Amino acid sequence: MKINGNSIRPGNVIEHQGRLWRAVKIQHTQPGKGGAYLQVELRDLRSGTKLNERFRSSETVEQVRLDQKEYQYLFSDENMHTFMDSETYDQISLDTQLVGEERTIYLQDGMLVMIESFEGDPIGIELPNHVTLKVVEADAVVKGQTAASSAKPAVLENGIRTTVPPHIETGTLVVINTEDGSYVERAKN
């Protein structure tokens, strides 16, 4: 589907220079001289390389629709990750480069993910927005420190370092944002 160059939004997948790209960031720019344009940071879906491109409103680009299907994460073996189709029980293995190394640390047994594919070829996965992880290391609370809003460093069971509120102790289950690794809330039991 053709769209105007200034209609690109973050998350859109477009076909550009013969490859598939996902728009990561956009910025509308209106210079003092010349016409306005949209500065778009693109990430190649297959190789992960980034490209900054300018699109004017007079240009058209091909927006691509990806097929999404829910799969359940089963296990990882070296740098291959195996998922199972929830309906047909077919299994698919994707390498770390396709999944994204920064995303593999959030994979948990039985987790449901969306695998995106284009023309039958898997090109990436979409994780849930939040995951529940256990705090394995957290600094002790200093008396009187809880009155002011502050945060302390903590290490989660998957090795990620994040900051948590002072009342969170080692062994506590917390909800973490998979996009940036930030603390969301204490997990409800």
pLDDT grade, residue 141 (50/70/90)?
Answer: low
The residue-averaged pLDDT of 49-61 equals 89
The answer to whether residue 173 scores a pLDDT higher than 90 is yes
Report which residue type is found at 3: I
Residues 6+ apart with CB under 8 A from 100: 48, 124, 125
Q: Are residues 38 and 75 in the same domain?
A: no
- Average pLDDT value for residue range 141-167: 79
Question: Looking at 47, 63, 79, which one is the last position of a domain?
Answer: 63
CATH assignment of the domain containing 104: 2.40.50.140
Q: What residue has token string 């509308």?
A: 28
What number of CA atoms fall less than 13 Å from residue 22's CA on the CB side?
15
> What number is the average pLDDT over the span 118-131?
88
Q: Are 91 and 74 in contact (CB under 8 A)?
A: yes
> Chain centroid to CA 176: how far?
13
Task: Specify whether the CB–CB gap between 85 and 69 falls below 8 A.
Answer: yes
In angstroms, the first-to-last Cα distance of the chain is 45
Give the per-residue pLDDT at 22: 85
What is the pLDDT at residue 53?
92
Tell me, what's the pLDDT at 31?
Answer: 84
**98 and 147 share one domain:** no
CATH at 15: 2.30.30.30
- Mean pLDDT, residues 132-151 taken together: 75
Owning domain of residue 91: 67-126
Q: Which residue has the tokens 């691509």?
A: 64
